[in-house]
Structure 1
Amino acid sequence: MTHIVFDIGNVLLRWDPFAAFAHMPRAEVEAMFDAVDFPTWNLANDAGRPRAEAVAEIARTQPQHAARMGEYFDRFHHTIQEPIHGTWQIANRLKRDGRRLFGLTNFSADTWPVALDLHGGLTDLLEDIVVSGVEQAIKPDPRIYAILCERNRLAPGDCLFIDDSADNVAGARAVGWDAVQFTTPEALERALTERGLL
């Protein structure tokens, strides 16, 4: 039987890092994110770097932005307010059909509890969720896919992964999973229907 593994950010929950600074002019936030290389900084946090070290890194390289970027953690809840309802509906249909559902997400260990506080339904929907910042292994590293399989006694060939990142989809396929790159709930429904899963 095929088991379905969902990414969280931009698959089940819309993630907008700019929303943490919605009280500031957008151009000012863009300049700050560019200065601190936000994608690289955030990825290191998702890989397991704790908040104190993340802020210390900016204090070392871009000290004028350290206090503000420290606030990112305090204001993180603003970035994940919106569930992607169409994906939740699909997931609930799969669950009703008897599929086992799991989560595999790149997420900071410091911000993951915020997601669970806001969207407690994640733990009702998903049997297990592997979080990169907790495991200190990050997609598309093969280790993180193996952690989910080993922890839940799943064969890679029985897993279908849904992720918005092409690199993470390729990483899943490289370890023997089937995978779908998420764009919209409608496109996901078509992909699952084509596979006979809906």
Structure 2
Amino acid sequence: MIKNIIFDFGGVVMDWNPRYFFKDHFNDDEKMEHFLKNIATDEWNSEQDRGRTTKEGTEIQVKKHPEWEKEIRAYYDNWATMLKSDIPENVAVLRKLEHSKYELFGLTNWSLELFPYALDHYDFFKIFQDKIVVSGTEKLIKPDPKIWEVLLNRYQIKADESVFIDDNFKNIEVAKTLGFICIHIKEDTDLEKELKELGVEF
């Protein structure tokens, strides 16, 4: 029986993408993609999500790639522009679940420094009533199984009674091995339909 529904945030309820800033900054898609693939990489950003400060991460990368210093420093200076908006159709599903019989949780890879901005600007985060595990706080990031264990232990819930929703397939794969019921969010996913097919009642 499903008792809990766990939301990832980026790509599920929040539309974040560094291209929202760098597209205009570079005005050159090829140069932008080179920068994001080779300089300001997902792996580099993930270390800030794991708990490294944005200042430290910036200085490390500037030292490695001094010719890209201006762009590297622009990354976190313009982070709010990269957080374009919420994802309305999925937030609507979350709001429908607010007064349901299910407990709602968040499990997100997000910098400890930057997450408060989202909390301050998007009221739907209050629905979770602070039942949110943030990678930057825990010094653990998905897909490390330990971060799911933090969630399970802290809130005394069971994986096989919990739906886990994420847009990252690696995270979905690991969550499945831990016993979670999973929904992989893609561009065309109808989240409400997927949840209803699992037996979730609205």
Q: Which moved more, 1:36-45 or 1:98-107?
A: 36-45
> What stretches of structure 2 of length at least 5 have no aligned partner?
none
Aligned to 1:143: 146
Identity of aligned residues (%): 29
Question: CA offset at residue 95 of structure 1?
Answer: 2.2
Does residue 17 of structure 1 match 2:18?
Answer: yes
User: Which residue type is aligned with residue 112 of structure 1?
Assistant: F
TM-score between the two structures when normalised by the length of structure 1 = 0.91
Aligned to 1:89: 92
Residues 56 and 115 from structure 1, CA distance in 2 versus in 1: closer, same or farther, beyond 3 angstroms? same
Confirm or deny: 8 A CA contact 2:62 2:72 kept in the other structure.
Answer: no
RMSD: 1.7
Confirm or deny: 8 A CA contact 1:56 1:66 kept in the other structure.
Answer: no
Q: Which moved more, 1:72-81 or 1:163-172?
A: 72-81
Length, aligned pairs only:
197
* Alpha-carbon distance in structure 2 between the residues aligned to 1:8 and 1:111: 13
User: Which residue type is aligned with residue 147 of structure 2?
Assistant: I
* Alpha-carbon distance in structure 2 between the residues aligned to 1:97 and 1:9: 23
Does residue 168 of structure 1 match 2:167?
Answer: no
Instruction: Report Cα offsets for 1:176-197 as digits up to 9, x if no partner.
Output: 2111101257532222111110
Aligned to 1:114: 117
Confirm or deny: 8 A CA contact 2:7 2:165 kept in the other structure.
Answer: yes
Structure 1 stretches of 4+ with a deviation exceeding 4 A read: none
Question: CA offset at residue 43 of structure 1?
Answer: 1.5
Question: CA offset at residue 110 of structure 1?
Answer: 2.2
Question: CA offset at residue 81 of structure 1?
Answer: 2.6
Residues 26 and 18 from structure 1, CA distance in 2 versus in 1: closer, same or farther, beyond 3 angstroms? farther
Aligned to 1:125: 127
Question: CA offset at residue 17 of structure 1?
Answer: 1.0
- Greater relative contact order, per chain length (Cα 8 Å cut-off, separation 6+): 2
User: Which residue type is aligned with residue 18 of structure 2?
Assistant: P
Residues 185 and 193 from structure 1, CA distance in 2 versus in 1: closer, same or farther, beyond 3 angstroms? farther
The partner residue of 1:62 within 62, 65, 70 is 65
* Alpha-carbon distance in structure 1 between the residues aligned to 2:122 and 2:77: 17
* Alpha-carbon distance in structure 1 between the residues aligned to 2:188 and 2:90: 5
Confirm or deny: 8 A CA contact 2:13 2:90 kept in the other structure.
Answer: yes
> What stretches of structure 1 of length at least 5 have no aligned partner?
none
TM-score between the two structures when normalised by the length of structure 2 = 0.89
Aligned to 2:41: 38
- For the residue of structure 2 that corresponds to 1:139, the secondary structure is coil
Aligned to 1:52: 55
